[in-house]
Amino acid sequence: MGQTLTEKILDDHLVDGELVPGEEIGIEIDQALTQDTTGTLVWLQFEALDLEEAQTELAAQYCDHQTYQFDFKNTDDHRFLRSAAGKYGAYFSRPGNGICHQVHKEHFAKPGKTMLGSDSHTPTPGGLGELAIGAGGLDLAVAMGGGAYYIEMPEIVNVRLEGELPSWATAKDVILELLRRLTVKGGVGKVLEFSGPGVESLTVPERTTITNMGTELGATTSIFPTDEETKDYLERLGRGEDYVEIGPDEDAEYADQITVDLSDLEPLIATPSMPDNIVPVREVAGEDVEQVIIGSCTNGAYEDILPSAKMLEGREIDPTTEMIVAPGSKQASEMLAREGWASEMMAAGVNFSESTCGACIGIGHVPASDSVSLRTFNRNFEGRSGLEDDKVYLCSPEVATAAAIAGEIVDPRDLADELGMDDPGFELPEEYYGADTDIIEPENAVDDELIKGPNIGEVPLKDPMDERLEGSALLKMDDNITTDHIIPATQDILMYRSNVPKLSEFTLSRVDETFADRALEADGGFLVAGENYGQGSSREHAALCPMYLGVEGVLAQSFARIHKANLFNFGLLPLEIDEETYEKIEQGDDIEIVEDVAGAVRSGAEEFTVRVNDEWEATATLDASDREREILADGGKLPHTKMKYADA
Ligand code: MIC
Ligand code: SF4
């Protein structure tokens, strides 16, 4: 039987297990990516593991999320990261040089390679045939140290693209359409592998918009085959030699197939506050818009901004609307500036910003109260913009620009006559250039020792698991709780990413302000949640901080992939419960796991008895590999790995 593209790349990198869906496999990682808000823990854990040098073919440290450096703590984090990159042999991309996924795509991503990144949108370079997966920082530290990355073998789903995009429909609409059909949990445990005649009509940057946002479906990763478009794109980047032709065998078999006819698509928009609340733009047309932002790792490339610049050429944005453009990389900014497009946009009234994640996680450009903000980003979880009851919509740069011109949501097709253009088109530059000075190569590193400011602490460790596990249901939550609920990003909190005791004070504060105090006082207990608990980012702080506060386990109907791995990594028991049990448990109930928990975890038990208030019992399941069970019972991956080295 032939292989899918995903199976081929996994097979080439397989060091443990077999490619059977649901079974655990270990793969070798070629490229490692980390950024400023997860990277500090990555390197602190790398240090705690006594590792000496990054062993991957390439490791890259980006500084992109908090580049405004509001507080010395942010700048200290960046200096620490520069020193860690120097000491351990990683490329260092300076603050302001751009968003990790954009810069990585421009400089390093290679077809056929495996990549692991401590950011959930790591799958972005799947658009040029790299198998790129997001993970928690500890998994990345171990993989950079030369260890295998373990993952449950996903099901490979074929997304067949047919036809060509009509005027004003974009790559963003392809992924919004998939979100409409599959929802934010429709991709969990799956890889989306694109194919079909529609693929060749999409350029690589369009493909990477799609693979970037496969993350919003909960997918393990998304990938395209390579072709003339990929070769051409790499050549324009000056990296033609990185091209390899890869694709599935003709007789490859997939677990499932989804067909999207590109020619049926129209401009779509995600309404507040979940990326799968999709409607055609025309359904919400007429809604006043006070803010428009173009940028992020989804639509921040040069080619994403160019159509917007063309739509704005010689025009002015509506006086009631603010428009911010934050290019995804400094290279994109430099090219737009040299070609005159940046000044064209400024003349139209655009506020041209530095290249940063910024507004995407509530750092700067917070929307006005009770107002609509249209963004080309990938996530609109409630409160993520920095405004608690925000109204953030997600759309293509074309739809966002049309709204800035009209001052309200408008289907860009209805503006075509006024603009005198059928479609601004999606063009690649002849060649990409600029901003090379902002990446420091390992051989030119400026530091060889770690520089830790006063805010950079240690990674707390947990004791091995006990026989007895009991405590109260500290908090009961709904479905689709995001890591932004568990540990928010935003400006005032982000600076504590390398100070776990302080950061823990904010744990689940968006759900219940008293949570951290109550958890500390209770000295142990459980979290209870519905489906898809922990969706969204890869931030391991969302497991580490509850652990620091004494939480012992999470009872949920289902878990998001990266968060579940992070729970194992920090020794928190992730048990699945059915809907009836979820409905019946109330916040404050006393919960006891009847079995000798540590023993049952180690011996492979799948079912656990949960006794509630000494009154009733239910069965909960633990879906874990033998490796994950050992990690859990040892109190997490850091103590587990240290013990393993000590034994060896
Ligand atoms: C996000 O988009 O939520 C982030 C901020 O990039 C996170 C990483 C983090 O929390 O530092 C992610 O996607 O993993
Ligand atoms: Fe940055 Fe937003 Fe992309 Fe996360 S989703 S990497 S915060 S731009």
Does 272 lie in the same domain as 255?
Answer: no
Q: Give the domain extent around 490.
A: 469-636
pLDDT at 615: 98
pLDDT digits (tens, 9 = 90+) for 158-184: 999 999 999 999 999 999 999 999 999
Asked if 384 and 407 sit in the same domain, the reply is: yes
Is the distance from the beta carbon of residue 365 to the nearest atom of ligand 1 less than 6 Å? no
Report yes or no on 447 lying in a domain. no
3-state secondary structure 361-407: HCCCCCCCCCCEEEECCCCCECCCCCCCCCEEEECCHHHHHHHHHHC
Q: Which residues contact 228 (CB under 8 A, 6 or more apart)?
A: 200
- Write the burial class of residue 400 (CB in 10 Å: 0-12 exposed, 13-18 middle, 19+ buried): buried
Q: What is the CATH number of the domain that holds 513?
A: 3.20.19.10
Same domain, 118 and 140: yes
- Which tokens hold the place of 105? 């795509």
Q: pLDDT below 50 — which residues of the chain?
A: none
Per DSSP, 288 falls in state B
Q: Which residue has the tokens 């692991």?
A: 116
Cα 280 to ligand 2 centre (Å): 24
How many A from CA of 386 to the centre of ligand 1? 15
Distance 98 CA to ligand 1 centre (A): 15
Q: Is the ipTM here above 0.90?
A: yes
Q: Are residues 260 and 276 in the same domain?
A: no
Helix (H, G, I), strand (E, B) or coil at 115: strand
The answer to whether position 464 is within a domain reads: no
The answer to whether position 155 is within a domain reads yes
Domain end point (choices 248, 264, 280):
264
Q: How far is the CA of 33 from the centre of ligand 2 (A)?
A: 14
Query: Would the CB of 455 count as within 6 Å of ligand 1?
Result: no
Q: Are residues 501 and 483 in the same domain?
A: yes
Cβ atoms of 280 and 265 closer than 8 Å: no
Q: Is the pTM of this model over 0.95?
A: yes
pLDDT at 52: 96
The closest-lying atom of ligand 2 relative to the alpha carbon of residue 119 is 6
Q: Map residue 62 onto helix, strand or coil.
A: strand
Q: Are residues 424 and 532 in the same domain?
A: no
Ligand 1 atom at minimum distance from 539 CA: 10
Question: How far apart, in whole angstroms, are the C-alpha atoms of residue 537 and residue 215?
Answer: 9
The domain total for the chain is 3
Residue 648, pLDDT score: 61
Domain membership flag for residue 502: yes
CA–CA gap between residue 139 and residue 159 (Å, rounded): 29
- Relative to the CA of 360, which ligand 2 atom is closest? 2
Are residues 221 and 195 located together in one domain of the fold? yes
281 domain residue, yes or no: yes
Other CB atoms closer than 10 Å to residue 338's CB: what's the count? 11
Q: Do 230 and 274 belong to one domain? A: no
CATH of the domain at 103: 3.30.499.10
DSSP 3-state assignment of 246? coil
Query: Three-state DSSP class for 510?
Result: coil
485 CB within 6 A, ligand 1: no
Six token digits for residue 510: 């968006």
Last residue of a domain, one of 264, 297, 320: 264
Query: Could you read off the pLDDT of 523-557 as tens digits, one per residue?
Result: 889 999 999 999 999 999 999 999 999 999 999 99
User: What local confidence, expressed as pLDDT, does residue 171 receive?
Assistant: 98
DSSP 24: E
C-alpha of residue 378 to centroid of ligand 1, in Å:
11
Q: Is residue 435 part of a domain?
A: no
**Do residues 100 and 119 lie in contact, with contact meaning Cβ atoms separated by under 8 Å?**
yes
212 and 288 assigned to the same domain: no
Q: Does the C-beta of 121 come closer than 6 Å to ligand 1? A: yes
One domain for residues 335 and 249: no
Strand, helix or coil for residue 123: coil
Q: What is the pLDDT of residue 312?
A: 98
Q: Is any ligand 1 atom within 6 A of the Cβ of residue 462?
A: no
Within this chain, do residues 166 and 200 fall inside the same structural domain, yes or no? yes
Distance 297 CA to ligand 2 centre (A): 6
**Structural domain ending residue among the three candidates 246, 264, 282:** 264
Pocket of ligand 2 (CB under 6 A): 65, 99, 119, 121, 296-297, 357, 360-361, 377-379
For residue 449, the SS3 value is coil
pLDDT of residue 643: 84
Measuring from atom 10 of ligand 1, which residue has the nearest CA? 539
Question: Does 412 lie in the same domain as 487?
Answer: no
Q: How far apart are CA 444 and CA 436, in angstroms?
A: 13
Q: Which of 201, 224, 3 is CA-nearest to residue 130?
A: 224
Other Cβ atoms less than 10 A from the Cβ of 524: the count is: 16
In this structure, is residue 645 part of a structural domain? Answer: no
CA 191 to ligand 2 center in whole angstroms = 21
Residue with tokens 């460790």: 461
Kindly report the protein residue whose alpha carbon is nearest to atom 4 of ligand 1. 537
Task: Give the three-state DSSP class for 408.
Answer: strand
Query: Does a structural domain hold residue 280?
Result: yes
Alpha-carbon distance of 302 to 328, in angstroms, equals: 8
